[in-house]
């Protein structure tokens, strides 16, 4: 894999390999685009088959964060970290302290927190090494797990899909298949059941699906059967690239809306969904709840305010559907346009150089045409 070619094609700024021989830490940090502000994005821990898969994932995830922050109106750029290790067996204090030191070395250019495979508590040791962390446990001054607020946003997004598809956002009598009942999916299943939907769930960890079934009385199916469910909405809440050549032809749903990042294996799968008449709710619009929570935390956390902001995902998704209808394009393209236009506008209006006003106290004035503070 030629990483510089990939970075040039996808617009990435920086890719950092982090290795610590004592703790065994192998992590990659991807900083995609910091036009709008410091890169903000979670830290995933996953036993990738190889370093190529891990590196590709961090690049894809970092780019997604740029679009998520831009589209949801945040002044942050996109970044992400992956730790190449098994979250079930390889978490140690040393590993997270070592990670904290690498994050510290970036001096605030990258701010991180939990993601798939990591939890708020995992970052407590890292907080002894760096202040550039969000979503630490509330007992440590953070805003805590972002799973519940992300689930709330996905539920609001699913309601927006219902309004677009069936003219009413009531989920009474609608059916939803939830793939993955971890920190987000389990809360989402509860919102859906409380809203009157029939819910079917799956998880590769049978204990998790069994716990949700016990609590909510929902049906459980084996992981691979989730794509074949005849439901109104398919909600991917596990990992990315689940909308691909193998799965899209199997879908029997009328809309896709879930928490997972990078659901489309390739953009052409978004075109394929469009051609099949399946309404796709772009992932970075629907799953912005966690990001909105941690940005609120950086501004002084107020949980109620954060939920109010996340509730607006309903309107933002409505706007994406409106642009898609107006321009006759698939919804993923409409969402990309929304994000790219905001970045371009803000980059342009930040252009003029004002002596002494460089936002980060830069010693040298920004080069002509570059946004102040970059």
Catalytic residues: 80
Could you say whether residue 261 binds ligand NAD (CB under 6 A)? yes
Q: 13-16: long-range contacts (C-beta < 8 A, 24 or more apart)?
A: 15/55, 15/58, 15/59, 16/102, 16/106
In the set 202, 247, 272, 331, which binds ligand NAD (CB under 6 A)? 202
Q: Which is nearer to ligand NAD, 185 or 371 (CB)?
A: 185
Q: Which is nearer to ligand NAD, 272 or 287 (CB)?
A: 287
Q: Which is nearer to ligand NAD, 43 or 371 (CB)?
A: 43
List, as one string, the DSSP characters of 290-326.
HHHHHHHHHT---HHHHHHHHHTHHHHHHHHHHHHHH
Q: Which is nearer to ligand NAD, 78 or 185 (CB)?
A: 185
Span interacting with ligand NAD, options 156-164, 183-191, 330-338, 350-358, rule CB under 6 A: 183-191
Rounded CA gap, 364 and 84, in Å? 38
Span interacting with ligand NAD, options 70-78, 237-245, 308-316, 331-339, rule CB under 6 A: 237-245
Beta strands in the chain (DSSP E): 14-19, 26-33, 39-40, 43-46, 77-84, 110-111, 175-179, 198-202, 219-220, 233-236, 255-256, 279-280
- Tell me whether strands 175-179 and 233-236 are parallel, antiparallel or unpaired: parallel
Say if CB 58 and CB 15 are below 8 A apart.
yes
Could you say whether residue 235 binds ligand NAD (CB under 6 A)? no
Could you say whether residue 208 binds ligand NAD (CB under 6 A)? yes
- Nearest approach, Cβ of 118 to ligand NAD (angstroms)? 8
Tally of CA atoms within 13 A in the half-sphere of 87 that contains its CB = 15
- Nearest approach, Cβ of 346 to ligand NAD (angstroms)? 23
- Nearest approach, Cβ of 334 to ligand NAD (angstroms)? 20
| Per-residue contact string for residues 129-168; x = within reach of ligand NAD by CB under 6 A | -----------------xx--x------------------
Could you say whether residue 30 binds ligand NAD (CB under 6 A)? no
Residue (of 42, 99, 105) closest to 68 by Cα position: 42
Beta strands in 108-222 (DSSP E): 110-111, 175-179, 198-202, 219-220
The DSSP H or E segment spanning 8 is helix 3-10
User: Which residues inside 266-295 make contact with ligand NAD, applying CB under 6 A?
Assistant: 287, 290
Could you say whether residue 239 binds ligand NAD (CB under 6 A)? yes
Q: Which is nearer to ligand NAD, 69 or 99 (CB)?
A: 69
Judged by the rule CB under 6 A, the positions of this chain that interact with ligand NAD are 115-117, 146-147, 150, 179-185, 202-205, 208, 223, 237-240, 259-261, 287, 290
């Amino acid at each position: 894999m030629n990483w510089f070619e990939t970075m040039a094609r996808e617009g990435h700024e920086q890719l950092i390999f982090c290795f610590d021989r004592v703790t065994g830490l192998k992590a990659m940090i991807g900083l995609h685009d910091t036009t709008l502000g410091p890169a903000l994005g979670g830290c995933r821990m996953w036993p990738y088959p190889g370093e190529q898969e891990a590196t590709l994932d961090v690049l894809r995830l970092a780019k997604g964060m740029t679009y998520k922050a831009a589209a949801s109106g945040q002044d942050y750029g996109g970044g992400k970290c992956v730790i190449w290790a098994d979250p079930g067996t390889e978490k140690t204090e040393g590993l997270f302290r070592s990670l904290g030191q690498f994050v510290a070395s970036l001096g605030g250019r990258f701010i991180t927190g939990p993601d798939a495979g990591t939890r708020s508590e995992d970052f407590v040791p890292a907080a002894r090494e760096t202040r550039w962390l969000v979503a630490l446990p509330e007992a440590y001054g953070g805003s805590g797990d972002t799973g519940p607020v992300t689930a709330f946003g996905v539920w609001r997004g699913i309601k927006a899909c219902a309004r677009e598809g069936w003219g009413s956002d009531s989920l009474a009598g609608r059916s939803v298949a939830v793939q993955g009942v971890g920190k987000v999916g389990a809360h989402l299943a509860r919102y859906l059941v409380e809203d009157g939907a029939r819910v079917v769930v799956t998880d590769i960890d049978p204990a998790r699906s069994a716990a949700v079934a016990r609590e909510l009385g929902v049906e459980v199916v084996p992981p691979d059967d989730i794509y074949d469910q005849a439901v109104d909405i398919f909600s991917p809440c596990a990992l990315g690239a689940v909308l691909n050549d193998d799965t899209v032809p199997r879908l029997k749903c009328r809309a896709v809306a879930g928490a997972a990042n990078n659901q489309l294996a390739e953009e052409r799968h978004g075109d394929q969904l469009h051609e099949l008449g399946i309404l796709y709710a772009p992932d970075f619009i629907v799953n912005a709840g966690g990001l909105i929570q941690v940005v609120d935390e950086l501004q002084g956390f107020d949980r109620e305010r954060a939920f109010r902001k996340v509730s607006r995902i309903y309107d933002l998704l409505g706007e994406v559907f409106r642009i898609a209808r107006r321009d006759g394009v698939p919804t993923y393209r409409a969402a990309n346009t929304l994000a790219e236009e905001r970045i371009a506008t803000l980059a342009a209006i930040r252009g003029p150089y004002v002596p002494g006003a460089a936002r980060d106290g830069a010693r040298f004035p920004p080069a002509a045409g570059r946004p102040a503070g970059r």
